[in-house]
């Protein structure tokens, strides 16, 4: 079969691949190749869909903040992609000082974020149990994301600019000669000057296929579930408990339903992740200890892989040892909220070698995101 020639092949049809294809297609010929029959089959369709800025450490925080203008006015959207929903990170008495300090530090990037305690805490979230919960960090300008709507926005934009979006196209070979990548897939062959590795949990496997040294990605399974409650959850903030023996989170959805998780992190190989019953049971115990939600049954369960680099920061940038190989992986638990700026960063690094000005203004450097930052890049 004769190969098709494009400027860029993007590997992976989750949110990372979709945002990269959307941004790049405006100025490049792009083909996005996804191994599954449908796009977003893996981690992207399994998230909690929360827009939190202060999550994942200072680098992710800045990337989420840089994505806010997109969410406030998403180009091409016919409905809001983010609906307001405050976030309340809760702790016990022993965590009050740490939460106060974190709120002060994170408040430098997100000024509306603040420490809360006493009656205000229970006014903000009446289902919390006094005595068990004593302090919190409140992020009022957070929200809930229409993840599939967001993914579709990126895919539509990519297609509008001529990108080929190809499903059932598992990439099986990646070789470079005469300044071009030769990409062999289940759906045919492509050649391209640049490959964008947006393969999520499979990122290191894709790199190995190309003869590129892996960056040490570790996929970690997280189980989530939907549960009904009779409690009044109208206006309830997203609750995240960082109390070590009572870890969990809960998000109010429509129809008296909660989306819950233990916030578990279990190492996994790249795979189609499945829910663990024990993690569901422990999450229910913890949520019932912290709140009056009185969860007694479960409607649906699922799991997804959150994939981390060794330092738990994102890996966005050119590989410095192999020409034309760009990494867009390691988004951990923040790949949805950071996706708008991830696409812009990809395009900016491809075209100019530098980060977009909006991210530089927030204190980010390309070295912070570079694949081999541990080598003193
Ligand atoms: C329970 C849970 C809750 C979460 N909550 C949030 C949240 O509230 N907010 C947030 O921002 N993030 C959240 N996340 C994290 C977020 O979902 C991820 O960071 C994000 O989806 C990662 O996107 P991705 O495109 O990198 O990965 P994926 O969606 O997994 O996409 C990678 C794609 O690459 C494809 N692929 C792999 N190898 C090949 C190959 N050889 N050829 C072709 N295609 C290939 C795969 O099939 C897959 O579709 C959560 C995750 C989980 C599991």
**pTM for the predicted model, two decimal places:** 0.97
User: How do the domains of the chain map onto residue ranges?
Assistant: 4-46+147-217+311-375, 86-141+218-308
Q: What separation in Å is there between the alpha carbon of 46 and the centre of ligand 1?
A: 8
Residue 230 clears pLDDT 80, i.e. is over it: yes
Residue 222 clears pLDDT 60, i.e. is over it: yes
- Ligand 1 binding site (Cβ under 6 Å of any ligand atom): 11-17, 33-36, 40-44, 46-50, 170-171, 198-202, 206, 222, 224, 261, 304, 306, 331, 333-337
Sign of CA dihedral 218, 30, 359, 339: negative
Topology annotation, domain 86-141+218-308: D-Amino Acid Oxidase; Chain A, domain 2 (3.30.9)
Predicted confidence (pLDDT) per residue in 101-137, tens digit = 999 999 999 999 999 999 999 999 999 999 999 999 9
Predicted confidence (pLDDT) per residue in 208-218, tens digit = 999 999 999 99
Distance CA 45, CA 264 (A): 18
Q: What separation in Å is there between the alpha carbon of 147 and the centre of ligand 1?
A: 11
Specify burial of residue 280 (Cβ count, 10 A radius: 0-12, 13-18, 19+).
buried
Q: What separation in Å is there between the alpha carbon of 121 and the centre of ligand 1?
A: 33
Distance CA 247, CA 236 (A): 18
Quote the pLDDT of residue 1. 72
| Average predicted confidence (pLDDT) for the chain | 97
Predicted confidence (pLDDT) per residue in 308-360, tens digit = 999 999 999 999 999 999 999 999 999 999 999 999 999 999 999 999 999 99
Distance CA 218, CA 268 (A): 7
CATH of 4-46+147-217+311-375 given 3.50.50.60, 3.30.70.20, 3.90.1710.10, 3.20.20.70: 3.50.50.60
In ligand 1, which atom is closest to the CA atom of 64? Answer: 11
Residue 376 clears pLDDT 60, i.e. is over it: no
Predicted confidence (pLDDT) per residue in 20-72, tens digit = 999 999 999 999 999 999 999 999 999 999 999 999 999 999 999 999 999 99
- Tokens coding 222: 């997280």
Beta-strand relationship, 238-241 and 87-91: parallel
Phi, psi of 66 (to 5 degrees): -65, -20
Q: What separation in Å is there between the alpha carbon of 305 and the centre of ligand 1?
A: 7
């Amino acid at each position: 079969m004769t190969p098709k020639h494009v400027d860029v092949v993007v590997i992976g049809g989750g949110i990372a691949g979709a945002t990269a294809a959307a941004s790049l297609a405006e100025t490049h010929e792009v083909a996005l190749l996804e191994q599954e029959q449908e796009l977003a089959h893996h981690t992207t369709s399994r998230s909690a869909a929360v827009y939190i800025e202060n999550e994942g450490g200072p680098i992710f925080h800045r990337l989420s903040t840089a994505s806010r203008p997109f969410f406030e006015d998403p180009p091409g959207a016919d409905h809001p992609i983010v609906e307001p929903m405050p976030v309340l990170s809760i702790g016990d008495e022993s965590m009050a000082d740490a939460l106060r300090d974190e709120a002060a530090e994170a408040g430098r990037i997100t000024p509306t974020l603040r420490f809360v305690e006493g009656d205000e805490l229970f006014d903000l979230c009446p289902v919390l149990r006094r005595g068990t919960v004593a302090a919190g960090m409140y992020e009022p300008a957070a929200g809930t994301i229409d993840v599939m709507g967001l993914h579709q926005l990126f895919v539509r934009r990519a297609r509008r600019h001529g990108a080929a979006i190809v499903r059932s196209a598992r990439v099986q070979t990646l070789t470079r000669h005469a300044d071009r990548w030769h990409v062999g897939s289940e759906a045919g062959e492509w050649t391209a000057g640049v490959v964008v590795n947006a393969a999520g949990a499979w990122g290191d496997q894709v790199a190995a296929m190309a003869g590129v040294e892996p960056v040490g990605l570790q996929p970690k399974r997280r189980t989530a579930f939907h549960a009904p409650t009779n409690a009044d959850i109208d206006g309830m903030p997203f609750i995240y408990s960082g109390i070590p023996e009572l870890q969990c989170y809960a998000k109010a959805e429509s129809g008296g339903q909660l989306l819950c998780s233990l916030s578990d992190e279990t190492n996994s190989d790249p795979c189609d992740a499945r829910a663990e019953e024990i993690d569901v049971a422990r999450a229910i115990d913890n949520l019932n200890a912290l709140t009056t939600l009185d969860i007694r049954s479960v409607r649906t369960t699922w799991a997804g892989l959150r994939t981390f680099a060794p330092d738990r920061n994102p890996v966005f940038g050119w590989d410095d040892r192999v020409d034309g190989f760009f990494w867009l992986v390691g988004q951990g638990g923040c790949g949805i909220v950071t996706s708008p700026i991830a696409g812009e960063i990809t395009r900016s690094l491809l075209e100019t070698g530098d980060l977009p000005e909006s991210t530089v203004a927030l204190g980010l450097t390309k070295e912070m995101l570079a694949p081999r930052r541990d080598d003193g890049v």
